[in-house]
Amino acid sequence: MSPSRSILLVGEGNFSFSASVSQQYSETETSITATCLQHQEEALRHEGAANNIKIIKDSGGVVLFEVDCTKLEECASLQGRLFDRVVFNFPHCGRKSGVKKNRKLLKRFFLSCVQVLSEDGEVHVSLCNGQGGTPADQPKREWHNSWQVAAMAAEAHLILSDVHPFESERYQSYKCTGYRSQDKGFHVEKGLVHVFTRSLPYTPAQICKVEEVVEGDKVQYNIPAELSDYIFRGFLCSGSVHPVRLVQDFLLKGLAEKWSVSMATETIPFLLTAKQLQACCCDVDIAHCYWVQPLQKDLNSDAQTFTGKEKDHLMCSDSRGHTDTQDTLSATCATSDKMDKVRSKAAESLRSTCSLDVDPEGESGLYMLRPTLLPQMEELLTKKELINDAESHGEDEGNNKSVEVEGHKKDGPSGGCNGVPSLLFGISGLVFRNVPVNHWALPAFHELLFRGDFISECEPIKLLGQRLETLLVPYGVSLVTEQGGVRLMAQPMGLVGRVSASNESDNIKDVSVTVSLNLDLLAVLLFSLPDWRLLWSHDPRFLQHFALCPSPGKPFRPFSLFPEHFSFDISFWTGPTWEERKFHAVIREASHGTVEHVKLIDMFSHPDLSQTSYCYRLTYQSHTHALSHTQALKFHKDLESLLTSRLQVTIR
């Protein structure tokens, strides 16, 4: 950090540290305010205090007495002032006070100091080795026997952003003192400085109303509250430096070295019908779909909807205020004739591999948030096929809209076989899965899909697998061969992608291959993120790390170190019907996404009543926000209220 414009030092004893800081910043415009709890007469009893106070004042600093660091807002001399740095060196309640009293001191200090801390300010707390209770302590004490400094700071919505050694040699005149005129000091040789910064506030979940055109119908519906923070974020927009976009660009560049790659740029709706999903018959568990009831449905309406410029503007505005209006977003790409055969082959393949447990006719009025982009891929390829057919017959050429893609063309020899070129058609976007809360269960993520038509004797599955292996194995991805394709696996998250081929069509020499990749999980791997939820952080410090578009492999440095986790149990009686997926949806909403794991630890069915008792253990942790015990408990109480009102359970 560059020299602060204003520094407040609290809990000073003999003012030797403040004097050293004053001398270091004597030639800058930094202002020093040094305070202590004692009366002036008592403070002057410390050896060297009078000389240190003189050094501070001669350097232009201010010295204040009788300032309680747990009540800074009550100090008249500090009224209306904000500081860029607040420093508290080796706090202690004095004498043989236990860890609980010192925790209370820290908590009260943090709650007070944020009242005088600037928006981008830092709080520096120096502690003896072992006191902090973080992995930075060597050796580390048991957490319950530490001062739990990160947890105490979280009570004031502060996060631990850095830990570094206390460099006593930098402050040669510094001589630590004890409490209330006791000149006996602390052991500072292995002391650690804990640097805290403000956390963003939690954003309440809201139901977001969206209007889209689906199969010619204008449909108005609500995005579920627990998903409201996942839409209109624009991570994949042109010019984005979000790691999800960087991973996509990395993959496109790597694949373009072997094949020509064309990415569709058309805006596609979030909503699907059951019939659309069954048409492509992908291997999506229908139980994990977010079913949506429309609020309004106008047939054959040509009114402006969120699929037009308004939605594009929302999705493509990044945190820096840059906007890509995407004025013309048309169908897909016009490519080689071989791509014309892709859609029908892939659809036939997918139908043969699985089936949805729904009646397409009976379910035609139901909608779901897209669990995959495969149906949109099918429709885009159909549009391309119609465009190509019309152009080949010279029909209505003046009415055909131009086709736009983001193209990535390979250099060098063809990526096909026997001189026949191959092209990969791609599409990417957000998809949704109604999955139980777990460490690596993503309710929303960005899917990258490729579809290519190959000569079967080229062994395209093997070719694509080898290329993806070259790109991703260095980051922990392994390839597992399965019937009809390859699975891309990584620890600890599991499946991160798949390569699959269609069944043989009439032309046994051709085969269509589909590649599906989870960009979010790959971003976690390629940039060493501690948690996938970081990808959705609104904190500007997250994107600052990627501002220069680093190459994959550069580890992300978290802006919140060693976040604490808290576990609470919840028990309740349910009625004769119980839908656990609704329970998990309420958890995500009530906890603001801070619950990372849910475990069923007990279940009991009453022999006489149509009731079942469930007991779950919920683990709360956040890598993006300050999460204190108080805040986690509040979220847990909110969960109990929502469960009672929404799911009609009886809390035990």
Mean pLDDT by 10 residues, the chain (652 residues): 78 92 88 95 92 94 96 94 96 82 96 96 95 91 91 98 90 66 62 97 88 89 93 93 97 94 90 84 79 73 42 47 31 33 38 40 68 90 68 45 44 49 87 95 96 85 93 96 92 94 63 94 97 97 95 93 96 89 95 96 87 95 97 97 93 92
Of 486, 262, 491, 293, residue with least CA distance to 384: 262
- Which residue reads 């013309």 in tokens? 328
pTM of the model: 0.85
Give residue 184's pLDDT: 53
Q: What is the pLDDT of residue 528?
A: 96
pLDDT at 363: 43
pLDDT at 512: 87
Residue 329: predicted pLDDT:
26
Tally of CA atoms within 13 A in the half-sphere of 514 that contains its CB? 27
Residue 316, pLDDT score: 52
Q: Estimate the crossing angle of helix 243-256 against helix 460-472, to 10 degrees.
A: 130
What is the per-residue pLDDT for 458? 82
pLDDT at 311: 55
Q: Where are the alpha helices (DSSP H) in 270-360?
A: 274-280, 309-316, 342-353
Query: What pLDDT score does 215 carry?
Result: 84
Look at residue 324 in the predicted model and tell me its pLDDT: 36
Contacts of 123 (CB under 8 A, 6+ apart): 85, 86, 87, 88, 110, 113, 114, 117, 153, 158, 195, 196, 197
